[in-house]
Structure 1
Amino acid sequence: MTQPVAPTAESSALSVELSAMPLALTLVESHCAATLRQRSATLLKRHLGLALAECLYIDGSGRWLGRDGDEGQFDCGDFHHPYAHVIRSGKPLTLSVADARIRLDHPGFQSQVASLGSALHLHVRPLRGVEGTREWLGVMLLAGTPARLLALTEDPGMAAFEALLCRLWMRLAREQGERHRSRILQDSLAKLNDGTRRQALADQLAEDLLGQSAAMQALRRHIVRAAETNLAVLLQGETGTGKDRVARAMHQLSARANGPFMAINCAAIPEALLESELFGHGKGAFSGADHAREGLISQADGGTLFLDEIGDMPLALQAKLLRVLESGRYRPLGENEERCADLRVVAATHQPLREQIKEQRFRADLYYRLGQFPITLPPLNERRDDIAQLAQSFITDFCAREGRDEMGITPAALRLLYRRDYPGNVRELKNVIDYACAMTPHGADIDTYVLPGEQDSQLADSGLDDMVAPAEEMPLALPGDIDDLRQTMRDIESTIIRQRLRLFGGNRAQAAQSLGLPKRTLAHKCQLLELDIK
């Protein structure tokens, strides 16, 4: 493809031009490899009168040649363009534009040289980081007259220019790689620190929002993320799942923690009074308004406003609330001047708002404005692993509130609690525990007969443990003639412990928990009874 052309006088000043100090400084001052490539191409084209000069770079995969400015890329294995020939051979290539248009049909390459005259020639040079290595940087494309291109290939100034370009390119590429790795490391450390901080806050929430189930751990993480924003939060879930506690926890973790937390149940206040409660009113606004009153929106300024049972808010009031959310402005009843409030709204409902929207009982625009950060609270039936911890917490609260001595709960009673349905969720469980605590005699633990709905004599007399015990446990056969009660009790205890260990595959912690015993106590009993618990 190469067509030799005799040197001409037009190359006599090339060495001086290409090695001039200002040109070298222009390249050295480049702050990134892309700028270096662009400046190099501009200098070659401007000072040497070339029709085209461009530097293409090999990407990190080594498969693609890219052009600065997102102007397309070339596959290094596609020989429909000249760059693949140069990369594969490692040698420069010169050909006429006319030949290139006939022999090379790559669309991107043809578009690149479309504006060039057929009399011009193309010269493609491979660029490496350090001479003698296989570390490719890219290729250089030059277009000009045959005489000018031949002069360039033989000119020492061009060789010096190319060497400087490759050295600077290599250095900038390495610096950019180091900066990239440094950013990745910093981002990783920042994410790690953020993750550690968020996990610490989520663990802190576990003191108030009890439960170690996967559903509760996920809920606490969502609360932490929501607290970091100023977005409106919509809490959805069945009744009794603790939406009010979640709202307060979110406020305490937010940047508004030092501000007020104001709450209102939209279903508990008559429609005629709800607007006054929220927006306040001026003196004489309606009959009986003998003095002005600040509404909850005003009182929540700088803090959080919790709107419980938002699904029961009247449509007319929904429109006014939407304006507060969008502009922060509101007008008390009976007043002409608007006021401003800076607050974060947390709303909650157990109602299906999407169905209410279809029935035109709830505004769609308010729903989407409230639901900037939606959170769904899990029902108790989806977190049964938390029942034991919740029950013990409610027992402790009852004893402290009523001045009762500490009490526990028997394994049989706990098994019944696990098997119950809880349409009222955590609130229902608390009511069950409070009732059972009140019915339990002093000095005793909560047992099955004091649980509401479980006093049926048939259940109590027919062996309740058999009904609720796991299927893997066989009922105990008591001997007809007992002449040593102590030994008989030891045998029964030994049998029960053996069955429970076998049920849990030898896991002492689970067996102890199912029997209502500390793990250390179970281990001591196994030692006394000479049971193998390994």
Structure 2
Amino acid sequence: MTARAFASPDKGLEKASVDPQVLDWAQCLAAMPAARHLVESTTPKALRERLIALLCQGPGLVWANCLYLDGSGRWLGLDGSDAQFDCSDFGHPYAHVIRSGKSLSLSVRDARARLDCPAFQAQVAALDGQLRLQVRPLRAANGARTWLGALALVGESESVRALAHDEGLAALEALTCQLWHRLTQQQGERQRSQVLKDSLAKLNEGARRQALAERLAGDLLGGSAAMQLLRKQMVRAAETNLAVLVQGETGTGKDRVARAIHGASQRAQGPFMAINCAAIPETLLESELFGHEKGAFSGADQARDGLISQADGGTLFLDEIGDMPMALQAKLLRVLESGRYRPLGASEERRADLRLIAATHQPLRERIQEKRFRADLYYRLGQFPLQVPTLAERRDDIALLTDAFIADFCSREARPPMGITPAALRQLKARHYPGNVRELKNLIDYACAMTPSGGDIEAYALPGEQAPLGEALADGAPVVGEAALALTDDVIDLRQTLREVEAAIIRQRLQRFDGNRTQAAESLGLPKRTLAHKCRLLELDSK
């Protein structure tokens, strides 16, 4: 191969400088019209592929490969292959070239005999042993002489030997190295730019979600870890159109979760239709959901749209889905799968674009085993399951919830602002809440009603726990004879029991006299100061 194999017919490379340090792109392009398409490469990989295609057009060459050095500088890779060559392994010729910085030329037969790298041997296994291999180092002509990779050429012996002095190949190689280095830098800049862009996008998305979660905190109070996690999950749910199954004990606020998800979703401007499946008779539930045509049944004097139709473009919330009759479950499943439904008495199906949120306190898996709930509907409803924590799992939120409920009561009842004493708050935090947040709200409403205007809620204003002895004493009922013995069967700590009895009696008397300690003390036959002292000892006041 001669310089004319890669040079232009006019003038050629005889007058072009081929020193890699001073090589100019314009000179290269003027000297090598056949290589101009290399400049059109947009990535280092595309450049290498075009270089190999161009080289294989030269006379005498039967095989060519361009290896690239990876980011670690330790491995040489090959486009389109999983093969990797360790630069410290001298069992292949590429390591010799990279380490020495000089070209290496030997016959294929010698390469097979002298080099034992399995990956390299696999490369040359099908080549004729009479052919010659030349490996050339590729380095960028910058101040640091950056390593790029290696060029491997196989061809007829005389042709390959001539390549060592071929000015056209030298110019082509220099141009390739300059383009390669430039494209690598550009690719690195693009990657860094993309990483920065992705990072900013994640930060913005994270900030957006955090702001949305904080907005949800206005509807779902609580700074506990359980509530923070729930709000984050709700934000994720709001970003999708997946069916949401909200599970949790009674009184945990499942309906508020459903409304908050709707309000945070892209359907927020659409309708939010809700129905309690346990509160409507089975004979009416189907009509409420699917609607009916005029004359569909006795009493259907006119056509009526059901909630599915009314929720088109918005959200349908089915509370207590665990109590839905089996026959309706099959029809609801069809709506979820196809978006189609048929009103009672209608001859044609209709379509509805809605997002379904269902809630239940029922153990649905158990109801599936009992054949009272469809498994296929359960899995379709549970595309995005949410578990609302009990109040016992978020006791740290009781103070915040209490303040909110007090403010709500005062607003509704046009009462002046009031607070709650530390003793009363301690009592609230120590209670058992089978009714969860709803029970807490009812307790606060009662205590607010029992507290004189302008005062703070004290411990005596709170209803007692549902213990038999406490109930009897708080109600003022006489406890004598066998009844008294029955009530004391569970006594373990007599001193603590007497303390609870005394506290229950004093609380009941304070409630009877609207917190007037003078009247309560007189009714118990105690000096007022003694009653005040007992209130402090029993934590029935703020001190």
Normalised by the size of structure 1, how large is the TM-score?
A: 0.81
Q: Distance in 2 between matches of 1:318 and 1:80?
A: 70
Partner of 1:76: 87
Distance 1:387 1:237 in 2: 18
**2: distance between equivalents of 1:31 and 1:413?**
73
Root-mean-square deviation (CA), in Å?
A: 2.3
Q: How does 1:6-155 map to 2 (within 5 A)?
A: 10-11=1-2, 13-16=4-7, 20-130=31-141, 133=144, 135-155=146-166
Q: Is the 8 A contact 2:60 2:156 kept in 1?
A: no
> How far apart, CA to CA, are the structure 1 residues paired with 2:431 and 2:113?
83
State the Cα distance separating 1:234 from its structure 2 match.
1.4
Three-state SS of the structure 1 residue aligned to 2:152 is strand
Shift of 1:516: 7.7
Map 1:92-241 to 2 at 5 A: 92-130=103-141, 133=144, 135-241=146-252
Higher mean Cα deviation, 166-175 or 288-297? 288-297
Counterpart for residue 258 of structure 2: 247
Deviation of 1:410 (Å): 0.7
The letter of the residue matching 2:455 is A
| Rounded Cα–Cα distance in structure 2 between residues aligned with 1:93 and 1:358 | 75
Shift of 1:99: 2.6
Match of 1:503 in 2: none
* CA drift at 1:390: 0.1
CA distances 1:252-283 after superposition (whole Å, capped 9, x unpaired): 11111111000111122222222111111112
Q: How far did 1:332 drift?
A: 0.8
Report the alpha carbon displacement of residue 49 of structure 1 after superposing the two structures with TM: 4.1
Assess, with a 3 A threshold, how the Cα gap between structure 1 residues 136 and 361 changes in structure 2: closer, same or farther: farther
Structure 1 runs of 4+ off > 4 angstroms? 17-20, 454-464
Distance 1:424 1:403, change over 3 A: same
Name the residue aligned to 1:396. Answer: 407
Q: 122-131 or 278-287: which moved more?
A: 122-131
- Equivalent position to 2:306, from 266, 279, 295: 295
The unaligned stretches of length 5 or more in structure 1 are: 1-9, 465-491, 497-514, 518-534
Matches within 5 A, 1:385-534: 385-453=396-464, 458-459=498-499
Instruction: Kindly provide the amino acid, as one letter, of the partner of residue 202 in structure 2.
Output: K
Unpaired runs of 5+ in structure 2? Answer: 14-27, 475-497, 505-532
Deviation per residue, 1:298-354 (Å, 9 max, x gap):
000000001111122222222211111111111111111010001111111222223
- Counterpart in the other structure of 1:476: none
Residues 159 and 343 (structure 1), Cα distance of their counterparts in 2 relative to 1, 3 Å cut: same
2-structure distance, mates of 1:386, 1:302: 35
- Alignment check: 8 A CA contact 1:449 1:460 kept: no
**CA contact 1:51–1:116 (8 Å) conserved in 2:** no
Q: Is the 8 A contact 2:249 2:390 kept in 1?
A: yes
2:291 is the counterpart of 1:280: yes
Greater Cα offset, 271-280 or 351-360: 351-360
1:464-517 C-alpha deviation (Å, 9 max, x unpaired): 9xxxxxxxxxxxxxxxxxxxxxxxxxxx9xxx9xxxxxxxxxxxxxxxxxx989
The answer to whether the 8 Å contact 2:2/2:168 transfers is no
Is the contact between residue 227 and residue 251 of structure 1 (CA under 8 Å) also seen in structure 2? yes
